[in-house]
């Protein structure tokens, strides 16, 4: 771990190697709403996130000193895990310098910057300089990586033997609109259109990571699907969260759903009576799939 301490200071903007950007999807083009969506998601589902990091602690044990947050975004996982493991430090890995900048300033604001370092790289191509991690957390990030086998081999090499990989994936855009009627159908059509759109760029979105983890030499110790749901009265921020998601979704659905659906989506964000920011009948519903996988204790390969 000596080398990791050398980099313990923030080195946020130094690409790990000259090709660090070559294979990324998002680098440099992080849409404006996404950081706030990620932060709101973590705030709204804070109890679920705490329960999840608690279960990770049960599996990972007390002696977790070095954590990797892979595809960290704004640091939702970084901060939840720093709280769960009060003596650990986190290497936050992301291909987007904008995300890492936000993470670093949030860490500073919380007085946690001495426990966080950042690594700007394409995490699909390995984690340069990272070895002996006790825990790798990959939330809503693995599906971004080009080749699961290469990415998982890189994660395994970054973990110490016996170390734990926790993978969380969301099943798609959350449902916000009440009831099973027309609005539910609108959301279902939007989700299907988004699935089609993303399938072109991210073929591993929605993948079953269990067999991929096993094939990569991990032993999968837990696998579960959890409904993460909020119902009225919704916590503050839920309307804003729905607004940002619909705005983002609306922006990518031109030509992918019909004009009636586009108009219905517009009405959800146009400041009028149906605008999700002013409603008290919303829900927030999605399914998180979680895999807990271990690098075998006896796996001594580099
Ligand atoms: C949906 S966000 C999830 C962020 C965070 N893990 C969370 O759960 O809040 C996906 C993140 O993966 C990052 N990402 C996408 N492709 C990547 C790659 N090839 N290497 C590293 N990070 C990547 C994006 O920049 C983004 O921050």
Q: Concatenated DSSP letters for the chain?
A: -HHHHHT-S--TT-BSSTTTTTT-SSTT---THHHHHHHHHHHHTHHHHHHHHHHHHHHH-S---EEEEET-TTTHHHHHHHHHSTT-EEEEEES-HHHHHHHHHHHHHTT-GGGEEEEES-GGG--TT---EEEEEEES-GGGSS-HHHHHHHHHHHEEEEEEEEEEEE-SSPB-S-SSSHHHHHHHHHHHHHHHHHHHH-TTTT--HHHHHHHTTEEEEEEEEEEEEE-SSPPTTHHHHHHHHHHHHHHH-TTTS-HHHHHHHHHHHSSSTT-GGG-S---EEEEEEEEEEEE-TT----
Mutation pick for ligand 1 pocket among 95, 103, 118, 289 (CB with most ligand atoms within 8 Å):
95
Which pTM value belongs to this model?
A: 0.89
**Ligand 1: centre distance to CA 180 (Å):** 32
Q: Is the CB of 21 under 6 A from ligand 1?
A: no
**pLDDT value for 302:** 63
If residue 41 lies in a helix (H) or strand (E), which one and from where to where?
helix 33-44
Rounded alpha-carbon distances, angstroms, from residue 22 to 19, 98, 142, 162: 5, 17, 17, 32
Q: Which atom of ligand 1 is nearest to the CA of 123?
A: 20
* pLDDT tens track for 39-85: 999 999 999 999 999 999 999 997 899 999 999 999 999 999 999 99
Q: Which atom of ligand 1 is nearest to the CA of 30?
A: 25
* pLDDT tens track for 106-161: 999 999 999 999 999 999 999 999 999 999 999 999 999 999 999 999 999 999 99
Distance CA 295, CA 104 (A): 29
Task: Inform me whether the pLDDT recorded for 28 exceeds 80.
Answer: no
**pLDDT value for 10:** 40
Task: Give the chain's radius of gyration (CA, Å).
Answer: 19
Q: How many CB atoms lie within 10 A of CB 19?
A: 11
Nearest Cα to Cα of residue 196 among 180, 175, 172: 172
Q: Is the CB of 91 under 6 A from ligand 1?
A: no
Q: Is the CB of 53 under 6 A from ligand 1?
A: no
Task: Inform me whether the pLDDT recorded for 291 exceeds 60.
Answer: yes
Q: Is the CB of 294 under 6 A from ligand 1?
A: no
**Ligand 1: centre distance to CA 182 (Å):** 33
Residue nearest to atom 15 of ligand 1 (CA): 144
Residue matched to tokens 């771990």: 1
Q: Is the CB of 77 under 6 A from ligand 1?
A: yes
Task: Inform me whether the pLDDT recorded for 2 exceeds 60.
Answer: no
Task: Inform me whether the pLDDT recorded for 27 exceeds 50.
Answer: no
Mutation pick for ligand 1 pocket among 45, 46, 71, 80 (CB with most ligand atoms within 8 Å):
71
Q: Give the pLDDT mean for 269-289.
A: 95
**pLDDT value for 201:** 87
Task: Inform me whether the pLDDT recorded for 30 exceeds 90.
Answer: no
**pLDDT value for 178:** 86
Q: Is the CB of 141 under 6 A from ligand 1?
A: yes
Q: How sure is the predictor about 183, in pLDDT bands with cuts at 50, 70 and 90?
A: confident
Report yes or no: 62 and 86 within 8 Å, Cβ to Cβ. Answer: no
Q: Give the pLDDT mean for 171-184.
A: 83
Residue nearest to atom 3 of ligand 1 (CA): 140
Collapsing DSSP to helix, strand or coil, 215 comes out as helix
**Ligand 1: centre distance to CA 29 (Å):** 12
Weakest-pLDDT range from 7-21, 29-43, 46-60, 216-230: 7-21
Q: Which atom of ligand 1 is nearest to the CA of 38?
A: 9
Q: How sure is the predictor about 216, in pLDDT bands with cuts at 50, 70 and 90?
A: very high
Task: Inform me whether the pLDDT recorded for 179 exceeds 90.
Answer: no
* pLDDT tens track for 200-214: 889 988 889 999 999
Residue nearest to atom 27 of ligand 1 (CA): 73
Residue nearest to atom 4 of ligand 1 (CA): 73
Which class does domain 33-174+204-232+285-295 fall in? alpha beta
Q: Is the CB of 76 under 6 A from ligand 1?
A: yes
In the chain, where the domains are located:
33-174+204-232+285-295
For the chain, the average pLDDT equals 89
Q: Is the CB of 139 under 6 A from ligand 1?
A: yes
**Ligand 1: centre distance to CA 118 (Å):** 13
Report yes or no: 119 and 92 within 8 Å, Cβ to Cβ. Answer: yes
* pLDDT tens track for 250-267: 999 999 999 999 999 999
- Of all residues in the chain, the percent with pLDDT exceeding 90 is 78
* pLDDT tens track for 12-21: 344 444 333 3
Q: Which residue has the higher pLDDT, 181 or 185?
A: 185
Report yes or no: 244 and 37 within 8 Å, Cβ to Cβ. Answer: yes
**Ligand 1: centre distance to CA 179 (Å):** 32
């Amino acid at each position: 771990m000596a080398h990791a301490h050398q980099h313990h200071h923030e080195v946020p903007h130094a690409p790990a190697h000259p090709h660090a950007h070559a294979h990324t999807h998002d680098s440099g083009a992080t849409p404006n709403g996404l950081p706030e969506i990620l932060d709101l998601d973590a705030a709204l589902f804070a109890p679920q996130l705490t329960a999840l990091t608690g279960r990770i602690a049960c599996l990972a044990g007390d002696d977790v000193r070095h954590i990797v947050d892979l595809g960290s975004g704004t640091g939702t996982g970084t901060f939840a895990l720093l709280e769960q493991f009060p003596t650990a430090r986190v290497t936050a890995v992301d291909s987007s310098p904008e995300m890492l900048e936000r993470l670093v300033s949030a860490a500073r604001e919380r007085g946690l910057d001495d426990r966080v370092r950042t690594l700007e790289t394409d995490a699909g191509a390995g984690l340069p300089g990272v070895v002996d991690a006790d825990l790798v957390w990959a939330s809503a990030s693995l599906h971004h990586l080009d080749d699961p086998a290469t990415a998982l081999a890189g994660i395994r090499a970054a973990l110490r033997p016996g170390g734990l990989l926790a993978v969380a994936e969301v099943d798609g855009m959350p449902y916000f609109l009440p009831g099973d009627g027309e609005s539910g159908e609108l959301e279902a059509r939007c989700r299907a259109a988004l699935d089609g759109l993303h399938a072109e760029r991210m073929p591993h979105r929605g993948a079953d990571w269990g067999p991929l983890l096993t094939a990569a030499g991990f032993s999968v110790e837990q696998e579960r699907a959890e409904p993460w749901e909020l119902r009225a009265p919704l916590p503050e921020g839920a309307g804003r969260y729905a607004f940002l998601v619909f705005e983002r979704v609306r922006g990518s659905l031109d030509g992918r759903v019909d004009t009636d659906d586009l108009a219905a989506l517009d009405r959800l964000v146009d400041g009028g009576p149906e605008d999700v920011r002013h409603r008290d009948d919303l829900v927030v519903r999605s399914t998180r799939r979680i895999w807990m996988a271990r690098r075998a204790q006896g796996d001594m390969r580099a």
